[in-house]
Amino acid sequence: MTSEIRSIKKRDVKPGMFVHGYGCGTFHDPFVAVGRFVETYDDIAKYLPEETEQVEILTDKIFEKKIKNDHSVRSAATAAADLAEALPAARRIHEDALDYARKFIDDVRNGKEINIAEAEPIIGQVIESISTNESAAITLAFLKSYDEYTFTHCINVNLYSLLLGKALGLDSDELKDLGLAAMFHDVGKGRISNTLLNKPGKLTDSEFETMKGHSLQGLKVLSNIKGLSEDVLCGVFEHHERYDGKGYPQKIKGDEIHKFARIIAICDVYDALTSVRVYKQAMTPAKSLSLMFKWKGTDFDPEYFNIFIRIMGVYPPGSMVQLEDKRYAIVLETNEAFPLKPKVKILFNHRMQPIISECVDLASCSDDGRELKVLRQPFPASMGIDMKQLSRFLV
């Protein structure tokens, strides 16, 4: 059977495709054979030069991904030990970022110019942190305070966006710009009154229009600052655009929306749903993802959203779960190949009484010959649990 060759744009190359080669076959743009499957977004950068425009793929070749059983290589006990070792450094970075968020938001409220130079090393530290131990960084994102939502939201969206950007194969310069865009995505809210921002009831039409104006206000704040790239400004200005074109302020859609904005849109909603606000209770990560899944392709870039689920997991590190045997545990690490079976540290019995801790990989664990599964994901605050206090069991 003859292979069918199709020419596509480089930007349309996706993991799972078989790249036949690239180039137009001319003297100035010779054809270069590749003959490889693209397994990850990193492979695209590896096999196709940056200046490549057209790529030939073979449409009859299908890549069947072989899932590695990482759980058999890395035990839950090892994951727990690595997490305990990485948490102190991750916590320091988290606190530095939180201090900076408090400062730059206050500066905006007081009409002062933001000091971008102070943000850049913090973004670099976050990138280094997720490269060292993603689980430690994500764990700290769930130890957030209701009273400081405005500040924690900035740094959590920054963290989630960098995780997603890294998974999408962005290079180091792009990650730094993405981090800045994510950190400042809601900077325009600094020009909206706290009374409106924290209103417990439904907004009037007029109030909602004022709130929607924070995208443009953010652009105005940042446009006066030297050294910010156009990509950063687009990420801030467009993060409320929707994939189907029904967002704001420009009602652009699909790939017309800057990739930074498409990334930030997902992370912004995820952190908002999993946070307590003056007008709502927080949702568990599992319920939040379930709700967001319904908006895939309308609100969110479907490809980016699928990758976000993969890197965060249904039960992300730092979240609490109850197992089928009724014991309670904290998630240590996701199992990418088995998203419903994370590595956990069991801490309490069914009455929430402390027991001898046990590190368990649910992907390879059984209880009296039966598979041990997650029963549900409770919301800690509803049980009177302070996650910041609970985190001491991880170190």
Q: Where are the domains of the chain?
A: 5-58, 75-312, 320-394
Task: Report pLDDT for 146.
Answer: 55
User: In sequence order, what are the residues at sequence separation of 6 or more whose Cβ sits closer than 8 angstroms to the Cβ of residue 55?
Assistant: 7, 8, 9, 10, 12, 13, 19, 21, 22, 48
- Which residue type does 191 have? R
3-class DSSP state for residue 328? strand
Q: Report the C-alpha gap between 342 and 348 in whole angstroms.
A: 17
> Using CA atoms, how far apart are residues 137 and 125, in angstroms rounded to an integer?
11
> Architecture of 75-312 per CATH?
Orthogonal Bundle (1.10)
Q: Are strands 320-323 and 54-58 parallel, antiparallel or unpaired?
A: unpaired
For residue 321 the two structure tokens come to: 């779960």
Distance between CA atoms of 213 and 207, rounded to whole angstroms? 10
3-state DSSP call for residue 277?
A: strand
> Rounded to the nearest 5 degrees, what angle is found at the Cα of 277, between the Cα atoms of 120 and 296?
75
CB 179 within 8 A of CB 126: yes
What is the Cα gyration radius of the chain? 22
**Cα–Cα distance, 235 to 161 (Å, whole number):** 11
DSSP string, 338-349: -TT--EEEEEE-
- Per-block mean pLDDT, blocks of 10 residues, the chain (395 long): 71 80 68 78 77 80 47 75 91 91 90 90 92 88 70 93 93 94 94 85 90 93 90 97 96 96 97 84 90 95 92 90 94 85 93 91 70 87 73 72
289 close to 313: Cβ distance less than 8 angstroms: no
**Integer CA distances (angstroms), 326 to 348, 352, 378, in order:** 9, 10, 12
| CB within 8 Å of 123: residues ≥ 6 apart | 158, 162, 175, 176, 179, 180, 183
The pTM of the full predicted model, rounded to 2 decimals, is 0.79
Sequence letter at residue 384: G
